Structure 1
Amino acid sequence: MPHVVTQSCCSDGSCVYACPVNCIHPSPDEPGFATAEMLYIDPDACVDCGACVSACPVGAIAPDTKLEPKQLPFVELNAMYFPKREGKLPPTSKLAPVLEAPRVNSRPGGPLRVAIVGSGPAAMYAADELLTQQGVEVNVFEKLPTPYGLVRAGVAPDHQTTKHVTRLFDRTAASPGFTFYLNVAVGEHITHDELLAHHHAVLYAVGAPNDRRLDIEGVDLSGTSTATEVVAWFNGHPEYTDLPVDLSHERVVIVGNGNVALDVARILTAEPDALARTDISDHALTALRDSHVREVVIAARRGPAQSAFTLPELIGLTATHEVVLSAADHDLVQSDLATESDPLTRSKLEILAGLGAAEAPSTRPRIRFAYLMTPHRVIGSAGRVEGVEFTITGTTETRRLDTGLLLTSIGYRGKAIRDLPFDDAAGVVPNEGGRVDGTPGTYVAGWIKRGPTGFIGTNKSCASQTVHELVADYNAGALADPVAKTSALDRLVRTRQPDLVDSAGWAAIDSAELARGGGIRPRVKFTAVPEMLAVAATAPRPPLSRRLLSGLLR
């Protein structure tokens, strides 16, 4: 009864380290780990101990005898990753090598203090790595009143198990030495230099917040947006609550065919009653109940073999939704199948080959993949989009798709951070293993460090590398001691931002959202900052005497 990875997992590697026979690959120390679509369990080497099940933070692993019908394709997918052995026994070994947390050498002046800017996966994994050691204090700064970044606002509402990784982050946030400074914008309420004055080091884990934009005629018409913004709208991100998402037309067009494009297409064509059991925002659910959308077209410049979505996401999509191809695109798939040798790409093509025909009538909203479609211009009148004109890639032939909503999903790029160097071409902060070039005491982790690659858990090994460099610098005496006590930092921030939300305030928001779910939905989010602040203000405060004592000790 081998175990099986059954979805596009978070890839944080916890299962790898838990496995006693090293049968889960690629592991974080292997070259393909950072770009792997998921992790895979060797069915011949698995000893069915179940250690990986409890280690997985998103519930992605199950025995092959307990799979749902839609999960069965993952049995072959896991096995496909491993070479055929022709009767030979699979190799087994001890636990995969775990990169030990860096040992912090204590100093007489007090603990190692680190400020982390951002509260998404890279930030929380970095905090966890630091707090495995004694004598470390971590202060996490986040511009929103709620933490966890894209796990809260960027994971599709129907992928609730993926959001379970926040349970790990909750445990980190409850660690001694951890402090939240939420609703605090670095660069507005406190500067980089001020953070350095109160910490040994500042680590930026701010992601790649900017969408890459199409540069074509008409792209600024009303009715155009990005898939990332729509996901934030689904998830109740306060900055996107009022995003104009027009679902009055029968067709939505998405340019780009990565996983985010699939997320948006899946939600736009899902049954609203099914979504009502998720944490989707109420305003999005209301709009979807009134939607006139019958087809979402996912248009890609290149051919089927170059599809950007991952195989696990394709399997999941086709198991729950009606997905179709035109006759011309079916021909493209067959042509690619005739020459493709990569087994994972062939698996994608075989699934695409089995899709229904776009020419056939449909009784429910559907998703259509369209290939060799290069966007040429957006067509509209009275300031609103009415359609998109494409050229057939490599030709001068044009094709028009009528639509009332055009979304782009063509990648992300980092945003320059005040007082830090920035590589505009790569969209990252220049760094060496996370150590920012020419800026002592400053570090980066996550997408702002390496670019927008990998998955949630990929940030764990990325953050670990940065933390090792940071601690090495601290132990070598390269990081200057802070000039003020931690209590001085708290007073400074609260003076600049009276609406600061601390750990108690976040706990109050979290508890209230869970209660609003009523046991039917995972949570009902607050989508306006004033609402969040009002709830945070109800959090119980420690007695004044304890606060005064804490300030004296720090």
Structure 2
Amino acid sequence: MRHIAVIGSGPAGYYTAEACQKQFGEECRVDILDRLPVPFGLIRSGVAPDHQSIKGVSRRYEKVALTDSVRFVGNVTIGADVSVEELRGLYDAVVLATGAPNDRPLDVPGAALPGVVGSAAFVGWYNGHPDFADLAPPLDGPGAVVIGNGNVALDVARILAKDESEFEGADIVAHALAELRGSGIETITILGRRGPHQIAMTPKELGELGELARAAPIVDSADLPPPDADAALDPGQRKSVGHLRAFAAGGADASKPIRIVFDFFAQPVAIEGEDRAERVLVERTRLDASGRAQGTGETYAIPASLVVSCIGYRTPPIEGVPYDDRAGRFANDEGRVLPGLYAVGWARRGPTGTIGTNRPDGFAIAEKIAADMPGDSGKPGRPGLDSLLAERGVDLVTFRDWQKIDTAEIAAARAGAPREKFTTIERMLDARTS
């Protein structure tokens, strides 16, 4: 029997568990540990609440979780309740599938001012993550700036711009919906250091901006390359740029009270304000021969009481685990970190790829575990962990417990919503017995 511990219950964690099942059959036991009492990681707290079809992938993970060989162990904090070193002593293999939940720092003067938040915090706020439920972002001013040219920036802009009726069927939490209802934001500016051909925005997400009830996307046609230059792009990117061209051709719809302005070739150099963010100082850029953005020295200010930085994520370091500070992930050689210790998903490669990218990643790690550990080591695995956690008084949460939490959240849903997420760990734990 091989005993495998996976730290993190997001897509990378469950795909790894599925891969280990197929690699070892009945001769393995996989424990998936998570700090929260609820599983599925960014599927629950990172995917936009109005993208329910994407969240449906969790049904696949549920099938894995309900097998005899896989167990969810929630409400267990690595470092506080059990260390990685202790897990390595208990299990044949330990797989770090912690993702990259921390924001990459915005390194400009004024980034610490109230009103400046990272996308992990802002997305966590409207998705009901316990760490960010009390964020209370300032929505009272007329201007918001979103820094970044990827899909997360689009998610943030779209959520800020939507009318309440457009959240029908979404699992946005009630406190965020209430605060958005009273928002005074009229202009959302999306800043990108480079141009339309360098965006990391997919066609579906861009197209959604053109369908909003009360917001119009605005692109300056002068920022767009000549149309024949699009031929060099891959089909998906070409379609995305096509949306930008359509936005530019359509101009601003004066009947819509909110504007979403794409400001290309623009980089933030400072955030200014007395006691809170009031404006973003922006420098105009140009692309050099290698395609990198270079400042031109021309600056201007954009009024903004809310600034959301969507410039990337980092994996938080864990004591005793080699870390690549520059890349913001665990140091590894194709997934191998130390003997018996592996990394998968964003914890291995950094925040790149889609949810589905984690599946082949998980299968590759399962093959490495099989190659490194061909036989039974005799380690205690699951019984050893249970004994250790019981000694320390840890109130672990099983997948059956999660199903009770799930049922309670569904029962608490407002009309038209699939669920009302509990935003505190205490409420989650209470739902097991309510």
TM-score (norm 1): 0.73
Deviations 1:219-249 (A, max 9, x none): 1111100122111111100000001311101
Corresponding residue for 1:191? 83
Q: Deviation at 1:127?
A: 0.6
| In structure 1, C-alpha distance between the alignment counterparts of 2:278 and 2:210, rounded to whole Å | 29
Deviation at 1:308, TM superposition (A): 2.1
Aligned to 2:402: 506
Q: Given residue 230 of structure 1, which amino acid in structure 2 is its aligned partner? A: F
Q: Can you list the C-alpha shifts for 1:258-305, whole angstroms capped at 9, x where unaligned?
A: 100000111111111221531111100100111111221101111111
Give 1:102-141 correspondences, 5 Å limit.
111-132=1-22, 133-141=25-33
Give the alignment of 1:211-250 within 5 angstroms: 211-250=103-142
Q: What is the match of residue 339 of structure 1?
A: 229
Tell me the distance in 2 between the aligned counterparts of 1:352 and 1:128.
40
Inter-partner Cα distance in structure 1 for 2:253 and 2:73: 55
Deviations 1:375-402 (A, max 9, x none): 1111101x21111110111422211111
- 2:263 maps to a residue whose letter is A
Partner of 1:376: 269
Does the 8 Å CA contact 2:412/2:420 hold for their aligned counterparts? yes
- Tell me the SS of whatever aligns to 1:468: helix
Partner of 1:455: 354
Does 1:308 find its partner at 2:200? yes
- Give the gaps of 5 or more residues in structure 1: 1-110, 539-554
The residue type paired with residue 171 of structure 1 is K
Amino acid at match of 2:313: Y
Q: 1: distance between equivalents of 2:179 and 2:110?
A: 25
Alpha-carbon distance change, 138 to 343 in structure 1, aligned in 2, over 3 angstroms: closer
Paired position in structure 1 for 2:341? 442
**Closer, same or farther in 2 for the Cα pair 1:170/1:325, shift >3 Å?**
same
Match of 2:217 among 300, 303, 324: 324
Q: In structure 2, what is the Cα distance between the partners aligned to 1:330 and 1:391? A: 19
1-structure distance, mates of 2:222, 2:382: 65
* Native 8 Å contact 1:499 1:533 kept in 2: no
Q: How far apart are the structure 1 equivalents of 2:101 and 2:2?
A: 29
When the two chains are superposed, the root-mean-square deviation of aligned CA atoms in Å is: 1.9
Displacement of 1:343 in angstroms is 4.7
Bigger RCO (CA 8 Å, 6+ sep): 2
The 2-side partners of 1:136 and 1:360 are apart by: 59
Tell me the residue number matched to 2:296. Answer: 395
C-alpha distance in 2, partners of 1:481/1:516?
A: 46
User: Are residues 1:200 and 2:92 paired?
Assistant: yes
Maintained 8 Å contact 2:6/2:95: yes
CA contact (8 A) 2:216 2:256 kept: no
More displaced stretch, 192-201 vs 112-121: 192-201
Equivalences for residues 8-47 of structure 1 within 5 A: none
Query: Contact 1:311 / 1:347 at 8 angstroms: preserved in 2?
Result: yes
What TM-score comes out, normalization by structure 2 length?
A: 0.92
Residue 364 of structure 1 corresponds to 257
Which one of 227, 238, 244 corresponds to residue 352 of structure 1? 244
Give the superposition deviation at 1:441. 0.7
CA distance in 2: counterparts of 1:179 and 1:228, whole angstroms: 27
Residue 161 of structure 1 aligns to a residue in which SS?
helix
From the CA coordinates, give the structure whose radius of gyration is larger: 1
Q: CA deviation at 1:366?
A: 3.0
Contact 1:198–1:489 under 8 Å retained in 2: yes
What amino acid is aligned across from residue 420 of structure 1 in structure 2? V
Residue 485 of structure 1 and its aligned partner are, at CA, apart by 6.1
Does the 8 Å CA contact 1:247/1:291 hold for their aligned counterparts? yes
1:530 matched to 2:422? The reply is no
